[in-house]
């Protein structure tokens, strides 16, 4: 299997929905999973670094600001050949080997340690999705089935899925498609999307 990312069609128009994307790329049934990627800005562009098919579409964003994206440390999820990884912003280095990358934040877990900036008693509960790296170096994609806070989301990933690195992607609007299941209806458009596809 391989991980890929999508934002715009060849004409520059955003895919926008899982339904539109899958109608185009899944004719052979190779997509095992697809979901929304990182946080975006008011112009419906990725808020931070975005690399697709080896081309950097948006630069790394090291600015300070309000909102989840700017809670430190932020991170980058990347795909380089058969390797996937999550690194904090200050450790990310560009490389011609990186085919796909998306910046988001915050990193909820680093080296098995939950981010000390997130707390168990925070009342903010939303549907959330994220990507983790487990102890075997494999990517794990998560979508909560009910509203949850960052801390509980991270605890579940660590205890149940052996995740050691965990990057928050987005919340509220998040959906996931799994092979054999229905394509979720979306109320809001997606910007970037991440897929797991069968090699072939």
pLDDT score of 97? 97
CA distance 134 to 8: 30
pLDDT at 200 over 80: no
pLDDT score of 122? 83
pLDDT score of 5? 99
Percent of the chain's residues with pLDDT above 90? 92
pLDDT score of 198? 95
Lowest mean pLDDT, pick from 65-74, 178-187, 189-198: 65-74
Confidence of residue 43 (pLDDT cuts 50, 70, 90): very high
pLDDT at 123 over 90: no
Mean pLDDT of 118-130: 91
Mean pLDDT of the chain: 96
CA distance 150 to 118: 7
- Sheet containing 75-80: give its strands across: 55-58, 50-52, 100-104, 75-80, 83-88
Domain hosting residue 118, numbered range: 2-197
Per-residue pLDDT tens over the stretch 65-116: 888 888 899 999 999 999 999 999 999 999 999 999 999 999 999 999 999 9
pLDDT score of 51? 98
- Sheet containing 193-197: give its strands across: 2-6, 193-197, 31-36, 176-178
Spatial contact of 33 and 2, defined as CB atoms under 8 Å apart: no
Give the count of beta carbons closer than 10 Å to the beta carbon of residue 95: 11
Total domain count, the chain: 1
The pair of three-digit structure tokens given for residue 140, joined into one six-digit string: 């794990």
């Amino acid at each position: 299997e391989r991980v890929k990312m999508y934002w715009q069609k060849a004409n520059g128009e955003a895919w926008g929905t899982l339904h539109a994307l899958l109608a185009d790329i899944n004719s052979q049934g190779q997509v095992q999973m697809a979901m929304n990627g990182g946080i975006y800005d008011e112009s419906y562009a990725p808020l931070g670094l975005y690399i697709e098919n080896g081309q950097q579409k948006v630069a790394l964003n090291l600015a300070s600001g309000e909102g989840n994206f700017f809670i430190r440390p932020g991170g980058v999820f990347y795909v380089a050949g058969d390797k996937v990884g999550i690194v904090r912003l200050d450790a990310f280095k560009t490389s011609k080997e990186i085919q796909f990358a998306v910046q988001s934040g915050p990193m909820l877990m680093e080296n098995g340690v939950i981010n000390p900036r997130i707390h168990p008693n925070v009342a903010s509960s939303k549907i959330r999705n994220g990507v983790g790296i487990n102890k075997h170096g494999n990517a794990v994609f998560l979508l909560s089935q009910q509203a949850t806070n960052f801390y509980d989301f991270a605890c579940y990933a660590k205890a149940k899925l052996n995740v050691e690195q965990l990057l928050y992607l987005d919340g509220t609007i998040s959906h996931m498609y799994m092979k054999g299941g229905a394509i979720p209806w979306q109320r809001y458009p997606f910007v970037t999307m991440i897929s797991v596809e069968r090699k072939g």
